[in-house]
């Protein structure tokens, strides 16, 4: 049973802190192993990839089969139903439509000195997409990571995914084909991250690595950051629902468990101003858990980290939600925009009684790669901007440098950087204090 809290209780502050900062992840100390794997890949290239892939994934790959052929990718589509392909296509179209709205504009303007200033946006040349294998194999994540890169203008997108037991989910390959990915390797783990970051004989290095993975993948991404860019280090999934008593308790319970079934470390929180409704949701959750295929995982998540918080007024929920800074926030009220105006920190917000978070996971359009572990306080979900960078532009004419140069020289000399000062002074036909 999820923990029950009431904002009127005298111990509420302490109980809320305990729920907020519950340690949901067991940190695996894999740094030494990851360091050795990366070093091996850098030293032996493709040969290391073959050895490590066969050791960890039982994939039985060779140098020639590290990369999937076009025929293998096309062949996987034969085992995907027409309905599944149609769903992938609809999701891809909606994700592309949404992300095209994010393309930033270049800018240029002239100030009162005559200086021309501005910026321009350009994409990275290449991106690597890590797709987990096994039970955590999600074609939706392929679309969510690859399509923003394609919209940004990235010319080369590489996908790596472990062929656990020699197999790759055909839906993953169908999503990759729909997203325009033609370069796919059957490798995973820290060795795949190392190959993307440093390159091997067959796999050229990329500029940015995105996509979730296990503890080894996360540690490898931390290790190679700086050599390449990375998106984020993802933690367990989480959802917070602010709901009034006019909701269907079965709907809200289903929403809460939609994240609980991801992982035993996931967290699902309900905030409501109706104690009777809270009871109904708790009962509905227990009934739903009994028939879920992933009952064991969802039950551990709900019982260990779930919470139901009763407040006097729903407005309190906005403040409490901001302290969680949840990955997913649902506001299921008659007029959700009232509370939306009071919320500052959330990865994604779902408004109204008919907007379950699960729609955002698949087909609605916004990205489902979102900040976890309270990092929505300072970061955003994956977007087109993650695959672009901004370059500032400056053009000075004689008038502008004459107007601005003397004060720039003064600052350079104050910092003791004489060469800086002389560089400017040369254009003003002046000498510096030391010149």
* Residues 244 and 309 occupy one common structural domain: yes
Q: Which residues are catalytic?
A: 327-328
**Global pTM value:** 0.93
Mean pLDDT of 403-422: 96
Reported as a single tens digit per residue, the pLDDT across 254-269 is: 999 999 999 999 999 9
The larger pLDDT score, comparing residue 235 to residue 353, is at 353
* Residues 201 and 252 occupy one common structural domain: no
Position 288 in a domain: yes
Residues above pLDDT 90, as percent of the chain: 89
* Residues 53 and 182 occupy one common structural domain: yes
CATH code of the domain covering residue 281: 3.40.50.1980
* Residues 137 and 43 occupy one common structural domain: yes
Reported as a single tens digit per residue, the pLDDT across 113-151 is: 999 999 999 999 999 999 998 655 789 999 999 999 999
* Residues 83 and 19 occupy one common structural domain: no
Mean pLDDT of 214-234: 93
Mean pLDDT of 174-193: 95
In 161-231 the beta strands, taken as DSSP E runs, fall at 183-185, 208-210, 229-230
The number of folded domains in the chain is: 3
* Residues 202 and 215 occupy one common structural domain: yes
Burial letters 113-137, b for 16+ CB under 10 A, else e: ebbeeeeebebbebbbbbbbbeeeb
Position 219 in a domain: yes
Instruction: Work out the mean pLDDT of the chain and round it to a whole number.
Output: 94
* Residues 15 and 94 occupy one common structural domain: no
Mean pLDDT of 362-378: 95
From 341, 364, 387, the end of a domain falls on: 364
Position 434 scores a pLDDT of 72
Position 26 scores a pLDDT of 63
From 364, 379, 406, the end of a domain falls on: 364
* Residues 193 and 295 occupy one common structural domain: no
Position 435 scores a pLDDT of 67
Q: Which residues contact 276 (CB under 8 A, 6 or more apart)?
A: 245
Mean pLDDT of 286-302: 96
The residues pairing with 271 across neighbouring beta strands, listed in sequence order, are 242, 309
Position 136 scores a pLDDT of 57
Position 17 in a domain: yes
* Residues 70 and 41 occupy one common structural domain: yes
Position 59 scores a pLDDT of 85
Q: Cα(337)–Cα(37) distance, rounded to whole angstroms?
A: 49
The residues pairing with 100 across neighbouring beta strands, listed in sequence order, are none
* Residues 208 and 74 occupy one common structural domain: yes
Residue 338 pLDDT > 70: yes
Position 195 in a domain: yes
Mean pLDDT of 214-227: 94
At residue 220 the predicted structure's pLDDT band, cuts being 50, 70 and 90, is: very high
* Residues 81 and 196 occupy one common structural domain: yes
Distance in angstroms between the alpha carbons of the first and the last residue of the chain: 77
At residue 166 the predicted structure's pLDDT band, cuts being 50, 70 and 90, is: confident
Position 324 in a domain: yes
- Domain of 338 in residue numbering reads as 3-25+235-364
Mean pLDDT of 9-33: 87
């Amino acid at each position: 049973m999820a923990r029950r809290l009431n904002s009127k209780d005298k111990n509420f502050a302490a109980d809320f802190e305990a729920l907020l900062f519950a340690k949901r992840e067991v940190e695996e100390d894999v740094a030494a192993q990851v360091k050795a794997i990366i070093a091996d890949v850098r030293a032996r290239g493709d040969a290391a990839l073959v050895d490590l892939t066969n050791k960890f994934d039982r994939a039985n790959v060779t140098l020639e089969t590290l990369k999937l052929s076009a025929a293998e990718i096309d062949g996987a589509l034969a085992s995907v139903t027409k309905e599944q392909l149609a769903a992938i296509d609809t999701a891809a179209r909606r994700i592309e439509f949404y992300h095209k709205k994010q393309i930033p504009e270049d800018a240029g303007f002239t100030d009162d000195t005559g200086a021309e200033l501005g910026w321009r946006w350009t994409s990275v040349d290449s991106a690597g997409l890590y797709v987990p294998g096994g039970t955590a194999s999600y074609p939706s994540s392929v679309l969510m990571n690859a399509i923003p890169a394609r919209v940004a203008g990235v010319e080369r997108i590489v996908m790596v995914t472990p062929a656990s037991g020699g197999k790759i989910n055909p839906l993953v390959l169908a999503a990759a084909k729909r997203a325009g990915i033609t370069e796919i390797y059957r490798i995973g783990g820290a060795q795949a991250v190392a190959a993307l970051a440093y390159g091997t004989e067959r796999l050229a290095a990329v500029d940015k690595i995105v996509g979730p993975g296990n503890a080894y993948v996360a540690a490898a991404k931390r290790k190679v950051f700086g050599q390449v860019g990375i998106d984020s280090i993802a933690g367990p999934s989480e959802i917070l629902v602010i709901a009034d008593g006019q909701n269907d308790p079965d709907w809200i319970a289903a929403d809460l468990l939609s994240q609980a079934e991801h992982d035993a470390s996931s967290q699902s929180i309900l905030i409501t101003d109706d104690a009777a409704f809270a009871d109904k949701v708790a009962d509905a959750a227990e009934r739903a858990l009994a028939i879920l295929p992933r009952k064991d995982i969802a039950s551990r998540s709900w019982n260990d980290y779930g919470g139901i918080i009763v407040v006097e007024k729903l407005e309190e929920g906005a403040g409490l939600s901001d302290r969680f800074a949840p990955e997913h926030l649902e506001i299921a009220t008659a007029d959700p925009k009232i509370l939306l105006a009071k919320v500052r920190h959330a990865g994604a917000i779902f408004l109204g009684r008919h907007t379950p978070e699960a729609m955002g996971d698949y087909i609605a359009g916004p990205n489902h790669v979102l900040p976890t572990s309270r990092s929505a306080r300072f970061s955003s979900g994956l977007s087109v901007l993650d695959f672009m960078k901004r370059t500032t532009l400056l053009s000075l004419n004689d008038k502008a440098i004459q107007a601005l140069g003397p004060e720039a020289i003064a600052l350079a000399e104050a910092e003791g950087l004489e060469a800086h000062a002389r560089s400017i002074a040369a254009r003003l036909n002046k000498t510096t204090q030391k010149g």
